[in-house]
């Protein structure tokens, strides 16, 4: 019986060792390093899409020679952010082979249903390829695999943090920028009413309808102007107005005037999922989403928010206080 148990134990140990040898990913020393896409140049790629495991995805495509977001009515993207990624993709090599086994794909997060990034790109001749970026075994190193191939490699030339699947990573996030020093007049309309602020020749702000015993808090006006004159995009939506954007009854409308221009910013509906707001500027044909924080004062400020609070009275000398 003891001999039988020893045989069973020995067999089990051998099976475990064989399983580790077959399925556990390991570095494999290869011969010459070759380009993963030997016939591909960065300029050949005309479309690119990136997805992550959080459900985010972004599509980028060349439209008339310029990179844009086709899902947002060709909102302009920045070639200076896209081209370096394309250069890194075409520069990937087979020099650091990790495994040839399909069973390792999930463990390394380069499987079709378990990845960190999925990058799909298309060339001008219509050829499409898919690249999976996976786990990072050490700082700066990333596992990667081409769809349809068993081999998984390691690279230090491309990482998941530089392949973000949100629009803000690939566009100029500045949506509206008016020099605050040039603004001479600002009007805000929101649920609490209409407020008009004017800057005098000395650079001081006044508010229409200010009572004799009220003092304007100019710091609050400056903060308000900062939100109205400088707006950053979270994600572009497109050029077509939609009922869901809430522009028929916006949450706020800010109008800023300089000696040369008048700019209107309309703040529409709030998305309760991420607390972002839809906005449209008279300076752009595009509707975009912005963060709640960036327009909070425009939407929520009341008249009292623009006034200095009266000083707290101090007890007179000799007066007993409770």
Tens-place pLDDT, residues 262-297: 999 999 999 999 999 999 999 999 999 999 999 999
β-bridge pairing 152-155 and 142-146: antiparallel
Helix axis angle for 218-229 and 292-300, nearest 10°, is: 130
Q: DSSP characters for 59-81? A: EEEEETTEEEEGGGTSEE--HHH
pLDDT at residue 33, rounded to an integer: 84
Low-confidence ranges of the chain (pLDDT < 50): 4, 7, 13-14, 16-31
What Å distances lie between residue 284 and 21, 166, 298, CA to CA? 60, 21, 19
pLDDT at 23: 42
What's the pLDDT score for residue 309?
Answer: 78
Rg (CA), the chain: 30
> What is the pTM assigned to this prediction?
0.83
First-to-last alpha carbon distance for the chain, in angstroms, is 92
């Amino acid at each position: 019986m003891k001999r039988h148990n020893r045989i069973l134990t020995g067999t089990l140990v051998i099976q475990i060792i064989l399983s580790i040898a077959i399925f556990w990913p390991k570095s494999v020393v290869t011969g010459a390093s070759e380009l993963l896409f030997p016939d591909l140049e960065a300029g050949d790629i005309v479309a690119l899409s990136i997805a992550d495991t959080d459900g985010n995805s972004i599509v980028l495509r060349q439209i008339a020679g310029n990179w844009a977001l086709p899902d947002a009515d060709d909102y302009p993207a920045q070639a200076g952010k896209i081209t370096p990624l394309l250069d890194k993709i075409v520069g990937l090599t087979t020099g650091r082979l990790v495994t040839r086994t399909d069973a390792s794909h999930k463990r390394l997060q380069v499987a079709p249903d378990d990845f960190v990034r999925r990058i799909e790109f298309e060339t001008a001749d219509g050829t499409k390829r898919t690249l999976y970026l996976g786990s990072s075994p050490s700082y700066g190193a990333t596992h990667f695999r081409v769809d349809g191939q068993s081999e998984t490699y390691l690279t230090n030339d491309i990482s998941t943090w530089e392949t973000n699947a949100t629009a803000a990573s690939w566009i100029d996030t500045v949506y509206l920028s008016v020099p605050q020093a040039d603004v001479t007049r600002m009007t805000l309309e929101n649920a609490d009413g209409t407020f008009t602020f004017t800057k005098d020749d000395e650079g001081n702000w006044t508010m229409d309808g200010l009572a004799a015993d009220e003092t304007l808090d100019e710091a609050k006006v400056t903060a308000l102007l900062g939100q109205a004159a400088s707006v950053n995009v979270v994600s572009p939506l497109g050029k077509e107005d939609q009922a869901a954007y809430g522009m028929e009854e916006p949450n706020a409308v800010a109008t800023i005037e300089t000696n040369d221009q008048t700019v209107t910013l309309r703040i529409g509906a709030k998305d309760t999922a991420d607390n972002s707001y839809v906005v449209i500027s008279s300076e752009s044909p595009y509707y975009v989403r912005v963060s709640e924080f960036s327009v909070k004062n425009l939407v929520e400020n009341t008249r009292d928010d623009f006034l200095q609070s009266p000083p707290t009275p101090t007890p007179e000398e000799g007066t007993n206080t409770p």
